[in-house]
C-alpha cells in the first residue's frame, strides 16, 4: 500500500470513526488527518492502521484505537501552543497527534525498548517538538512542570498525586482510573486552585495497567489480548 492509499484511508477514518462519533474540535480532526498511523506500527500491521481498533505493538503493549486518541486529545481542551505531558509513549503515535496542536510535548515511557523506538520514529518523521523520557510515568516529568495539560494512556487505581501536582492551575488531566485492572473510567481532572480539583467522567474504557510507584506496582501483568 502506498502513501496515497494510506492518506485516503486516514481521511475516511477521521470522517467515519472520529468526526462521525462526535469529536468536533477542528484542531484534533486536523491533527488526526496529518499523522500517519501506519508509520508507528510494525511493518506487518500497516494494512490495519486505520481500522477502528487498538493494535499490538511490542513488549505486550498496544497502540490505542484512533477514536480513543482523538477523544482523549479533545478532552484536554487544547487551543494550540500548550505544553503537554503524556504518560505512556508506546509507539509515539498519540504524542505525534498532540504535537500538531501543542507547542511542546513531553512524553514518558517506562519500557526502555518502546521509549527508544518511539523517539527514533518521531525524530525520523520530523516531530521535533516531542521529547521522550524513559522513566516511571506515574511520577511525571517534574523538570518541565507545570503543564497546561496531561494525558495518561494507561489505567491506574487512582490519579497519581505527582501528576496532579505537575498540572498548572486551570490545566486539565485526562486519565483512565478504576479498581479493575481490565476496565476503567476515563476522567478529566481540572485543577481549580493549589489544593482543589474538579473531576468529570467521560467514558468507560479499557487500557493496559498504569505500572509504577503511584500506579499498580511493577509486578502487574498486562491484560490478555
**Cis peptide preceding 16, ω within 30 of 0:** no
Does residue 192 fall inside a structural domain? yes
Looking at residue 220, what is its pLDDT? Answer: 42
Number of structural domains found in the chain: 1
Residue 25: pLDDT above 50?
Answer: yes
Residue 60: pLDDT above 90?
Answer: no
Does residue 136 fall inside a structural domain? yes
Contact 149, 173 (CB under 8 A): yes
Residue 225: pLDDT above 70?
Answer: no
Looking at residue 223, what is its pLDDT? Answer: 39
- The cell numbers describing 67, all together, are 477514536
Q: What is the CATH number of the domain that holds 12?
A: 3.40.50.150
Q: Average pLDDT of the chain?
A: 93
Contact 55, 48 (CB under 8 A): yes
The arithmetic mean of pLDDT across residues 111-134, rounded, is 97
pLDDT one-digit tens code per residue, 201-224: 999 999 989 999 999 986 444 433
The angle subtended at Cα 83 by Cα 82 and Cα 87, nearest 5°, is: 125
Residue 180 pLDDT grade (very low, low, confident, very high; cuts 50, 70, 90)? confident
Does residue 91 fall inside a structural domain? yes
Active-site entry in 64, 91, 99, 104: 64
Top pLDDT among 82 and 44 is at 82
Contact 69, 32 (CB under 8 A): yes
Non-local CB neighbours of 107 within 8 Å, separated by 6+ positions: 85, 86, 87, 88, 89, 92, 95, 118, 130, 131, 132, 133
Looking at residue 218, what is its pLDDT? Answer: 65
Does residue 158 fall inside a structural domain? yes
Does residue 132 fall inside a structural domain? yes
Looking at residue 58, what is its pLDDT? Answer: 85
Q: What is the pTM of this model?
A: 0.93
- The cell numbers describing 120, all together, are 527514533
The arithmetic mean of pLDDT across residues 163-185, rounded, is 95
- The cell numbers describing 52, all together, are 477502528
Does residue 224 fall inside a structural domain? no
Looking at residue 61, what is its pLDDT? Answer: 87
pLDDT one-digit tens code per residue, 67-119: 999 999 999 999 999 999 999 999 999 999 999 999 999 999 999 999 999 99
- The cell numbers describing 117, all together, are 523506538
**% of the chain surpassing 70 pLDDT:** 96
Does residue 211 fall inside a structural domain? no
Looking at residue 221, what is its pLDDT? Answer: 42
CA distance 139 to 212: 8
- CA torsion angle for 51, 109, 219, 41 (degrees, to 10)? 30
Does residue 213 fall inside a structural domain? no
Looking at residue 1, what is its pLDDT? Answer: 67
Residue 148: pLDDT above 60?
Answer: yes
Catalytic annotation present for 103: no
Structural domain boundaries enclosing 109: 3-205
Amino acid at each position: 500500500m502506498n502513501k496515497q492509499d494510506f492518506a485516503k484511508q486516514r481521511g475516511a477514518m477521521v470522517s467515519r470513526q472520529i468526526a462521525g462519533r462526535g469529536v468536533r474540535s477542528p484542531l484534533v480532526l486536523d491533527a488526526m488527518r496529518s499523522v500517519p498511523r501506519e508509520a508507528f506500527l510494525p511493518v506487518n500491521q500497516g494494512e490495519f492502521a486505520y481500522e477502528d481498533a487498538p493494535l499490538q505493538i511490542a513488549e505486550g503493549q498496544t497502540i490505542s484505537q484512533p477514536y480513543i486518541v482523538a477523544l482523549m486529545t479533545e478532552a484536554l481542551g487544547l487551543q494550540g501552543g500548550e505544553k503537554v505531558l503524556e504518560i505512556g509513549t508506546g509507539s509515539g503515535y498519540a504524542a505525534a497527534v498532540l504535537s500538531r496542536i501543542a507547542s511542546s510535548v513531553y512524553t514518558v515511557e517506562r519500557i526502555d525498548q518502546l521509549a527508544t523506538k518511539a523517539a527514533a520514529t518521531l525524530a525520523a518523521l520530523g516531530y521535533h517538538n516531542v521529547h521522550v523520557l524513559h522513566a516511571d510515568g506515574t511520577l511525571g516529568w517534574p523538570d518541565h512542570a507545570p503543564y497546561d495539560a496531561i494525558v495518561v494512556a494507561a489505567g491506574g487505581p487512582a490519579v497519581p498525586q505527582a501528576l496532579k501536582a505537575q498540572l498548572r492551575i486551570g490545566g486539565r488531566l485526562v486519565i483512565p482510573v478504576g479498581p479493575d485492572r481490565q476496565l476503567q473510567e476515563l476522567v478529566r481532572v481540572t485543577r481549580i486552585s493549589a489544593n482543589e480539583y474538579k473531576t468529570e467522567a467521560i467514558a468507560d474504557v479499557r487500557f493496559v495497567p498504569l505500572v509504577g510507584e503511584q500506579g499498580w506496582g511493577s509486578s502487574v501483568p498486562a491484560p490478555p489480548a
